[in-house]
């Protein structure tokens, strides 16, 4: 059985997709961007955007009954690979100890012209 996960503590979907789906004890998030859910604003700079995007992802996972410690895989999409080190510093604030597997790729453009987008697969 598939359960749609939705929360106002993470940015709403801006297209025909769900924020996350839970199936068989696993949570699959859509890509999460650094939009402040309460205002719709996007923070300036890669550090602030990374912090907001990952914080939004964690809020979404928590709404699904999961959390950062249950993430098994993330995919990080970034506008500029030169920001990799800065993103790692922010990422390490949220994911500690047993780090999830991760891919990180540079992309030409992201929704709303943000600098980072992140998605995750987690245990419930």
Q: pLDDT band at 105, cuts 50/70/90? A: very high
Task: Count Cβ atoms below 10 Å from residue 77 Cβ, excluding itself.
Answer: 21
d(C-alpha 124, C-alpha 112), whole Å: 30
Cα atoms found within 13 Å of the Cα of residue 112, Cβ hemisphere only: 20
Q: Which domains does the chain have, with CATH numbers?
A: 2-123 (3.30.1330.40)
Active-site pick, 104, 108, 112, 120: 104
Average pLDDT for 107-119:
97
Q: Mean pLDDT, to the nearest integer, of 93-116?
A: 96
| Residues 5-46 pLDDT 10s | 999 999 998 889 999 999 999 999 999 999 999 999 999 999
42 annotated active-site? no
Answer whether residue 98 shows pLDDT above 90.
Answer: no
pLDDT at 39: 95
The CA-CA-CA angle for residues 73, 16, 29, to 5°, reads 15
CA torsion through residues 43, 7, 73, 99, sign: positive
* Residue corresponding to tokens 């924020």: 19
Burial-class residue 108 by CB neighbours within 10 Å (0-12, 13-18, 19+). Answer: exposed
Q: Is 119 helix (H, G, I), strand (E, B) or coil?
A: strand
Confidence grade of residue 97 (pLDDT, cut at 50, 70, 90): confident
Sequence-separated (6 or more) residues with CB below 8 Å from residue 31: 77, 111, 117, 118, 119
> Which residue's structure tokens are 């309460």?
38
pLDDT digits (tens, 9 = 90+) for 40-75: 999 999 999 999 999 999 999 999 999 999 999 999
> The pTM is what?
0.96
């Amino acid at each position: 059985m598939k359960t749609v996960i939705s929360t106002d503590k993470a940015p709403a979907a801006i297209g025909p997709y769900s924020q996350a789906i839970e199936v068989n004890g696993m949570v699959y998030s859509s890509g999460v961007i650094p939009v402040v859910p309460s205002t719709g604003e996007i923070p300036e700079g890669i550090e602030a955007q990374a912090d907001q995007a990952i914080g939004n992802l964690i809020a979404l996972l928590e709404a699904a009954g999961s959390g950062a410690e249950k993430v098994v895989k993330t995919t990080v999409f970034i506008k500029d690979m030169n920001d990799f080190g800065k993103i790692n510093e922010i990422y390490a604030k949220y994911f500690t100890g047993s780090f999830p597997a991760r891919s990180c790729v540079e992309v030409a453009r992201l929704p709303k012209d943000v600098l980072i987008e992140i998605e995750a697969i987690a245990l419930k």
